[in-house]
Chains A and B, each alone.
Chain A
Amino acid sequence: MVYVTISIVVGALISLAYLVNVWISFRQVSRDRQSEQRGRASEAAVAEDEAWFSWKAFVSIVASSAILYSIGKWAFLWNYVPFIAIGSAVAVIAAFTFERRKRI
């Protein structure tokens, strides 16, 4: 029950942070939209050259395979693995934060 309680507490805190980030970003987009309406119309920006390969993609595939392999070896990991689902919500928060920092 300890793990359940921790997940509820952590989940609630992350949810709050997540919704705050959604709200801030929504407000930002709305403001940008309004300023564009008053000024110029937007144009499609041109993408820059980027390498298509990403180590992060490779690492995520290896990591998820390793997690699946590991839970077949050690039972105690089963109590920790569900927390990575909350990690996905944290990743979205990180995406919002990263985007805001890039604007500054």
Chain B
Amino acid sequence: MLQANSIQPYVGYIVMVGLGLFMLVIALAVRSSLVRNTHDYIIADRRIGLGFGVGSVIAVWTWAMAVMMSSGQAYTWGLSGLFWFTVPNGIAVMAMVPFALKLRKVIPNGYTITDFIRSRFQNRPALVIAVIGMIFGIFLEIIINLKGAVLLMETIFGIKEIVILAVVILIVTVYSYFGGIWTSAITATVNTLLITVPAAVVTLFVLYKVGGPDVLFESLNKQDPQLLSIFRPEAAASFGITLALGLLASTVADQTFWQKVWAIKPQHVKRTFIWGGAWFYPIPIALGLIGLAALGTGLKLDDIGGDVTAVGPYLVSHLGLPLIIVVLYALLVLNACYSTIDGAFSALTSLVAVDIVKPLWPKLSERRLFAATKLSIVVCALVAAAIVMSGVNFVSLVLTTYAIKTSLLIPLILAIFWPRLTSRGFLWGIVLSIAIGLPVRIAYDELVGTLVIFGISAVVPVIWSLLSKEAPFDYAVLKHTKQLDDAEFFAGSAKGGPVEPSVGSIPQLGREV
């Protein structure tokens, strides 16, 4: 049934560059119509509607690796793998709703979650660790998606790793540079179309080519009836529970999502995350069938080089499918890759503008702030490319980022909802959970390490805060703090007036320059 893959590399180049040029055209159109200053660039003037909101949330949450991992987990564990991969993913997006509603109400003019931490605690170490966590998280998103693109393009088109990395990072950097979050939202909405429709067509073609569902169903039943059950406890224990907890940290403790919380029109915030999470589900479910098809055809892990993530690209490129179907699959994964990297770049710009550049250089003019914000994308792209191209094993980066983000989750939730949480409770909860949990995770296993991190990050802040005599925090302070308009802000800056760049006192970043 499987055939040699004879697809030429030039097809892969056309797909990568063609998609990039298409996105660039959209980005240029968006830039000329919608982006005039830093405020538009990093927060879209808080005018993103429901359509672009839902479309972009689905695309940003659909990582290239996730597209392939849905097939990979189905291949490894059968339907239980697909269940534990799929269900927590959608929940993680929808779980943003209570936090988003609370903070959008408390801080209507917010920009970043780290700015909330600054205002809530006025504690520099807590802020620094949160900013580092967010930036590491953004790097991780970019690097994992680059690796996803490499795996896809190497498996299907045989293009060299370094070439794929250079082309992808260049393309996404160029089009992200032009429009900020408006570009990200609109291109990601188009990306969603190019993920969802091809997912259906390619999966159905694969099912047809391998003999149809009945043949596969019978084969899987013969191999092990448990492959067709969603209730295998091994899948939950080996990766399901850890993934579910980690995914929550990947949304609630991630600026990519918080940027959208403040960029979307307030009346659409709840609906955007509910619809985004709910309508993300069909993508991994459909693509998971490709993994079951690989399992049903008897594809061996050794045949695909031992990496289960490559099972989708391998099967699609070795079934003798029409070239257009293979290209559709490649486009699907590349769209997931481009949209997530673009979203990560966009989140980075808001962090850089609000949490780094403005606090360090409060008198910076709007024109320079805008330039510095855009330049951060180029710097980030260069660093990410250098990390991946250097060939270093970035396991330590992954582990550290994961530990910081996981340790941030519960203190962050407490900071949003529990007024008694103190800055020291917040800080020590994070520090101790990383210091103890990370070594445990390395020495023992993921599940134990994750539970230790969660446990410490929950217990320490609560006990510390209950023992403290500090008065409870008044969230109303954030809402009623004076809001400056831009003219006042930049005039104040020019005169050397006091500009504390924290939420509540942060101005609406520059409008027209």
Partner-B contacts on A (CB < 8 A)? 1, 3-4, 7-8, 11, 14-15, 18-19, 21-22, 25-26, 29-30, 32-33, 36-37, 41-50, 52, 54, 56-57, 59-61, 63-65, 67-69, 71-73, 75-79, 81-89, 91-93, 95-96, 98-99, 102
Q: Which residue of B lies closest to A84 (CB)?
A: B282
B208 CB within 8 Å of chain A: yes
Known contacts A52-B98, A57-B277, A69-B230: A82-B289 contact under CB 8 Å: yes
Q: Are A99 and B97 in contact (CB under 8 A)?
A: no
In whole angstroms, how far apart are the Cα atoms of A69 and B311 in the complex?
23
Q: Which residue of B lies closest to A1 (CB)?
A: B208
Q: Which of B400-451 contact A (CB under 8 A)?
A: none
In whole angstroms, how far apart are the Cα atoms of A67 and B272 in the complex?
23
In the complex, which residues of chain A have a beta carbon less than 8 angstroms from the beta carbon of B53?
A: 95
In whole angstroms, how far apart are the Cα atoms of A63 and B33 in the complex?
40
A72 CB, min distance to chain B CBs, angstroms: 4
In the complex, given contacts A60-B94, A82-B203, what are 6 additional A-B residue pairs having Cβ atoms less than 8 angstroms apart? A22-B190, A72-B229, A82-B204, A92-B58, A95-B53, A95-B271
Main secondary structure on chain A at its contact with chain B?
A: helix
In whole angstroms, how far apart are the Cα atoms of A7 and B86 in the complex?
23
Interface size on B, residues (CB 8 A): 82
In whole angstroms, how far apart are the Cα atoms of A18 and B34 in the complex?
21
Q: Are A88 and B282 in contact (CB under 8 A)?
A: yes
Known contacts A22-B189, A99-B268: A81-B197 contact under CB 8 Å: no
11 contacts between A and B (CB under 8 A): A37-B512, A50-B270, A52-B270, A59-B278, A61-B87, A75-B216, A82-B204, A86-B196, A88-B192, A89-B193, A95-B271
B216 CB, min distance to chain A CBs, angstroms: 7
In the complex, which residues of chain B have a beta carbon less than 8 angstroms from the beta carbon of A33?
A: 33-34, 45, 47
Q: Are A44 and B108 in contact (CB under 8 A)?
A: yes
B200 CB within 8 Å of chain A: yes
B212 CB, min distance to chain A CBs, angstroms: 8
Q: Are B214 and A86 in contact (CB under 8 A)?
A: no
Q: Which of B128-143 contact A (CB under 8 A)?
A: none
Q: Are A88 and B49 in contact (CB under 8 A)?
A: no
Known contacts A68-B86, A68-B230: A92-B189 contact under CB 8 Å: yes
Partner-A contacts on B (CB < 8 A)? 29-30, 33-34, 36, 45-47, 49-55, 58, 79, 82-83, 86-87, 90-91, 94, 97-98, 101, 104-105, 108-109, 186, 189-190, 192-193, 196-201, 203-205, 207-208, 212-214, 216-218, 228-230, 265-272, 274-275, 277-283, 285-287, 289, 485-486, 508, 511-512
Q: Are B266 and A95 in contact (CB under 8 A)?
A: no
In the complex, which residues of chain B have a beta carbon less than 8 angstroms from the beta carbon of A98?
A: 50
Known contacts A64-B90, A78-B207: A46-B108 contact under CB 8 Å: yes
In the complex, which residues of chain A have a beta carbon less than 8 angstroms from the beta carbon of B200?
A: 7, 11, 82-86
Q: Are B269 and A99 in contact (CB under 8 A)?
A: no
Central interface residue in A37, A41, A60, A73, by most chain B CB within 10 Å: A60
In whole angstroms, how far apart are the Cα atoms of A75 and B220 in the complex?
11
Known contacts A29-B49, A41-B511, A83-B200: A47-B230 contact under CB 8 Å: no
In the complex, which residues of chain A have a beta carbon less than 8 angstroms from the beta carbon of B275?
A: 56, 91, 95
In whole angstroms, how far apart are the Cα atoms of A63 and B270 in the complex?
20
Known contacts A11-B201, A81-B285, A98-B50: A56-B274 contact under CB 8 Å: yes
In the complex, which residues of chain A have a beta carbon less than 8 angstroms from the beta carbon of B45?
A: 33, 36, 42
In whole angstroms, how far apart are the Cα atoms of A51 and B55 in the complex?
23
In whole angstroms, how far apart are the Cα atoms of A27 and B94 in the complex?
29
Q: Which residue of B lies closest to A93 (CB)?
A: B51
Known contacts A25-B51, A65-B83, A72-B228: A85-B203 contact under CB 8 Å: yes
Central interface residue in B201, B217, B267, B277, by most chain A CB within 10 Å: B201
Q: Are A47 and B108 in contact (CB under 8 A)?
A: yes
In whole angstroms, how far apart are the Cα atoms of A95 and B57 in the complex?
12
